[in-house]
Structure 1
Amino acid sequence: MSAGFAVVTAGLLLFHRGVPGSVGSLLESFLPWLGLVVVVLLGLALLRRSGVAPVALVLPAAAWAYACGGPLLPGEGTGPGAYGLVVVQHNVSDENPDPAGTARALAGTGADLVALEELVPPALSVYERSLASAYPYHAVHGTVGLWSRHPLAGARPVDLKPRGITEPWERGLRAVARTPGGDVAVYVAHLPSVRVRASGLASSWRDESAGRLGDAVAAEGAGPVILLGDLNGTVDDRGLDPLTSRMDGAGRGLAFSFPAAFPVARIDQVMARSAAVGRIRTLPATGSDHLPVLARITLG
């Protein structure tokens, strides 16, 4: 029995794209956790003193290392470049009881760029005041914002609104950061939330919004592009294919960011095109239900 489960687990890890529809999307959202199945099966094999099962577990263990082990390797995972940017991405939560404390924590990272989502009044004015000294340049559209140590130009909204949403919905922003390493197009996005059901993920709005964002990135000219946002999906989730097919994610680090009380997945993403995203890591909890994530991006 354990050997059979081992083979099935290995198959899911290696061929998860073959699992259809929303069930496959749900599987991909929690793919690294299949490693727990291997641990449980190994424990059962040891308890039963089975000689065959531990050998069979080599297959799913190798499959997990191939599918999910890359982020755990040492090193930054960046290529050579002349200039690096430190970026922070954080969904600050529209119910955050301490926006001033959250702003101080984020400013204390020394990041070059800070992207925030779920900015609502009156907390927005708190963030603007609290971040002003460390970040003299910022742009806000709707509930998303970008704070920068470097001048920003051409800030404008990006329409990510799915067709089925009728109420006001402004969750996309693009600006050009004029860094010492050159101009960088920076996107801040908050894609629609998804619901986990027995049948899989209810994610049609998220997927449609991801497609719109992917089209915007594809329309960018030559030069580096950075995407910071709460994408409500992991980089393995097929719903984010319009983005992950055009941009690279973090080379190292799992950085599970949600929910903050017991993080099980990273839905807060740092991606780049014509630039390399190094190790991504979470920062200490704020008053949000998400953890902030920080990464270094190498330009060039």
Structure 2
Amino acid sequence: MAQADTQETGRRGDIPEQTGSRVRRLLDHLDRWRRDPGTWRRGTVPAGCAAVLALVMIFHAQIPNDVGNLGSLLETFLPWLGLFVPLLLVIALVRRSATALIALLLPAVVWLNLFGGLMFADKSRAGGDLTVVTHNVNADNPDPATTAREVAASGADVVALEELRGSAVPTYEQALRDTYKYHTVKGTVGLWSKYPLRDSEPVDIKMGWTRALRSTVATPRGDVAVYVAHLPSVRVKFNAGFTAGQRDDSAEALGEAIAAERVDKVILLGDLNGTMNDRALAPVTSQLRSAQGAAGDGFGFSWPASFPMARIDQIMVRGMDPVSAWTLPRTNSDHLPVAASVKL
């Protein structure tokens, strides 16, 4: 019996002994790393890359657009630069470089300063008076009726649709008729509302055909000027870079129309083919608040629907307070619908 107790005690004693052994080995490993004269000399390349990454994020607005609209292209996908931080961390650990690890703190802090509030803070709250939705439905949508019903199921008071094919407009009108008593369609954009619309007219955004409109929505809490816009598409071409010239001209024209608006409360709904970080949209973004930025949870990426990488579908306001913003489930379009609730 005594021998059995001794064996049992020995087995129990193995646990703290093994744990202590692992801790000692880890401390020894760290001590050898610390005393290794190459710890500080190794990893100068990843350390330099970390510094460059931080500088690019800090000074992204100073990167010129003269060559291929490089600055706008970078700003479109600016949040994704954060992926280089864990990549450089792995390289620093593999290289056992203290220099690279310390340098990596700089881009990590810069990224958190730029996007930490979007990534980790849910700013939504209750109390909205008006819910709005915007959706680029895709001109090649194979089932517009289902898409319309899915958007209507959101419970929105006001719905903006972009990229309406002329032959599909009657289908959208039929599918939305029971939910939205009032609507207007101008060119390839349309607005559906539970509240009366008036003064609906096209907005010239320098495209040669109508892809923007303005209407007054008579809500129970007063008039709201609603703009619906679909700015020109952008492309990334090997020989030309980020081709966004026509979009930038349209953004300037849209900004001028909004600046001349006399109604105090303004909502812009639409596919702007650009993010809030893109300096080329400043004629618009300088006048309005992003509902996603003010009251959203996360980045709210809306395109492409299969793997959203950028927020190019926007809900922006002036003279009112966004209280929540979110994306809706995928439809048959290549964009996700986006929604917001505002307090009038």
CA–CA distance in 2 between the matches of 1:175 and 1:223? 13
Segment of structure 1 superposing worse, 29-38 or 273-282: 273-282
Equivalent in 191, 194, 198 of residue 146 of structure 1: 191
Query: Which residue does the alignment assign to 1:267?
Result: 312
Partner SS for 1:201:
strand
Task: Answer yes or no: is the 8 Å Cα contact 1:83–1:181 preserved in 2.
Answer: no
Work out which of the residue numbers 192, 203, 218 in structure 1 matches 2:244.
203
Counterpart AA for 2:264: G
CA shift for structure 1 position 83: 5.1
RMSD: 1.7
Question: SS of the residue aligned with 1:228?
Answer: strand
Give the whole-Å Cα distance in 1 for the aligned partners of 2:94 and 2:328: 39
Determine the structure 1 residue equivalent to 2:80: 33
1:197 deviates by: 2.8
Residue 222 of structure 1 and its aligned partner are, at CA, apart by 4.7
Code of the residue aligned with 1:147 in structure 2: it is: W
SS in 2 for 1:63: helix
1:277-292 aligned within 5 A:
277-292=322-337
Q: Pick from 257, 269, 280: which aligns with 1:239?
A: 280
1:69 pairs, out of 116, 133, 148, with: 116
- Cα deviation, 1:220-254, whole Å, max 9, x if unaligned, reads 12511000000011110111010111111122331
Helix, strand or coil: the match of 1:263? coil
Change (3 A) 1:143 1:77: same
CA offsets per residue over residues 149-200 of structure 1, 9 Å max, x none?
11111111111124xx5xxx11011001111221100000000011113453
Instruction: Give me the whole-angstrom Cα distance separating, in 2, the residues matched to 1:32 and 1:93.
Output: 26
Amino acid at match of 1:265: A
Q: Which has the higher helix share?
A: 2
Larger Rg: 2
Is 1:216–2:260 an aligned residue pair?
A: no
Measured against aligned partners, the alpha-carbon deviations of 1:33-63 in whole angstroms (never above 9, x if no partner) come to 0000112111222222322322221111111
Distance in 1 of aligned mates of 2:187 and 2:243: 25
Unpaired segments of 5 or more residues in structure 1? none
Aligned partners of 1:101 and 1:83: how far apart in 2?
Answer: 27
- 1:268, CA displacement in angstroms? 0.5
Aligned residues: 292
Whether contact under 8 Å (2:160, 2:270) holds in the other structure is yes
**1:53 has 2:100 as partner:** yes
Q: Is the 8 A contact 1:176 1:186 kept in 2?
A: yes
Q: Is the 8 A contact 1:189 1:229 kept in 2?
A: yes
Helix, strand or coil at the partner of 1:254: coil
Q: CA deviation at 1:132?
A: 0.8
Letter in 2 for 1:96: N
What's the counterpart of residue 32 of structure 2?
Answer: none
Q: TM-score, normalised by structure 2?
A: 0.81
Give the AA of the match of 1:239. A
Aligned partner of 2:63 in structure 1 is 19
Match of 1:108 in 2: 153
Say whether 1:93 aligns with 2:133.
no
CA contact (8 A) 2:124 2:325 kept: no
Aligned counterparts of 1:83 and 1:31: Cα–Cα separation in 2: 30
In the alignment, which residue of structure 2 is the partner of 1:229? Answer: 270
Separation in 2 of the partners of 1:226 and 1:287? 26
Q: What TM-score, normalized to structure 1? A: 0.93
Give % identity.
53
Q: Is the 8 A contact 2:166 2:188 kept in 1?
A: no
Partner of 2:53: 9
Q: What letter corresponds to residue 74 of structure 1 in structure 2?
A: A
In structure 2, the partner of 1:178 is 218
Shift of 1:77: 5.5
Q: 3-state DSSP class of the match of 1:57?
A: helix
Question: What secondary structure sits across from 1:128 in the alignment?
Answer: helix
Name the CA distance, whole Å, in 2 between partners of 1:283 and 1:83. 17
8 Å contact from structure 2 (residues 138, 333) kept in 1:
yes
The CA distance in 2 between the partners of 1:151 and 1:231, in whole Å, is 26
Query: 1:91 & 1:48 partners in 2: Cα distance?
Result: 47
